[in-house]
Amino acid sequence: MTAPLKHSAPITVEVALGDRAYDIIIGRDVLQTLGDRIKALRPGARTAIVSDKTVAKHWLAQTEAALAAAGITSSRIVVDEGEGSKTYAGLQTVSEALIAAKIERNDLVIALGGGVVGDLAGFAAAILRRGVDFVQLPTSLLAQVDSSVGGKTGINSPRGKNLLGAFHQPVLVIADTAVLDTLSPRQFRAGYAEVAKYGALGDEAFFAWLEANHADIFSGGSAREHAIATSCRAKAAIVARDERETGERALLNLGHTFGHALEAATGFSDRLFHGEGVAVGMVMAAEFSAELGMLPPADAARLSHHLAEVGLPTHLQDIAGFAQEGLGDADALLTLMAQDKKVKRGKLTFILLQAIGRATIVDNVEPAPVREFLARQLARKP
Distance, in Å, from the CA atom of 300 to the CA atom of 297, rounded to the nearest integer, reads 5
For residue 347, is pLDDT > 80?
no
For residue 11, is pLDDT > 60?
yes
How confident is residue 353, by pLDDT bands cut at 50, 70 and 90?
A: very high
Q: Which of 197, 235, 341, 342 is catalytic?
A: 235
Known catalytic residue at 260: yes
Q: Which of 81, 243, 245, 287 is catalytic?
A: 245
Asked whether 262 and 281 are in contact (CB, 8 A), the reply is yes
3-state DSSP call for residue 75? Answer: strand
Beta bridge partners of 365: 348
| Neighbour tally for 314: CB within 10 Å | 21
Known catalytic residue at 226: no
How confident is residue 207, by pLDDT bands cut at 50, 70 and 90?
A: very high
Q: What is the DSSP string of 145-205?
A: IIITSS-EEEEEETTEEEEEEEE---SEEEEEGGGGGGS-HHHHHHHHHHHHHHHHHH-HH
For residue 4, is pLDDT > 50?
no
Domains 11-182 and 185-379 share a fold: no
What's residue 246's pLDDT? 87
For residue 3, is pLDDT > 60?
no
Task: Please state the pTM of the whole predicted model.
Answer: 0.92
- The tally of CA atoms less than 13 A away on the side-chain side of residue 124 is 33
| 119-143 residue pLDDT tens | 999 999 999 999 999 999 999 999 9
Asked whether 343 and 349 are in contact (CB, 8 A), the reply is yes
Could you tell me the CATH superfamily of domain 185-379? Dehydroquinate synthase-like - alpha domain (1.20.1090.10)
3-state DSSP call for residue 51? Answer: strand
What's residue 148's pLDDT? 96
- Per-domain boundaries in the chain: 11-182, 185-379
| 20-46 residue pLDDT tens | 999 999 999 999 999 999 999 999 999
The correct CATH number of 11-182 out of 3.40.50.1970, 3.40.47.10, 1.10.10.10, 3.30.420.40 is: 3.40.50.1970
Q: Out of 4-8, 284-288, 376-380, which region has the weakest mean confidence (pLDDT)?
A: 4-8
Q: Which of 86, 274, 306, 341 is catalytic?
A: 274
Known catalytic residue at 245: yes
- Average pLDDT score over the chain: 94
| 170-188 residue pLDDT tens | 999 999 999 999 999 999 9
Asked whether 191 and 204 are in contact (CB, 8 A), the reply is no
Q: Which of 256, 271, 306, 342 is catalytic?
A: 256
Distance of CA 147 to the CA centre of its chain: 4
Q: Which of 7, 130, 345, 381 is catalytic?
A: 130
Q: Which of 28, 76, 86, 152 is catalytic?
A: 152
Distance of CA 144 to the CA centre of its chain: 8
Measure Cα distances from 26 to 88, 151, 173 in Å: 32, 18, 9
Fill in the amino acid letter for 342.
Answer: K
Q: Which of 37, 76, 86, 249 is catalytic?
A: 249
Q: Which of 161, 233, 260, 341 is catalytic?
A: 260
Q: Which of 42, 86, 189, 253 is catalytic?
A: 253
Q: Where are the alpha helices (DSSP H) in 177-296?
A: 185-202, 204-219, 223-241, 256-265, 274-291
Which residues, in sequence order, are CB contacts of 253 under 8 Å at separation 6+? 342, 351
3-state DSSP call for residue 81? Answer: coil
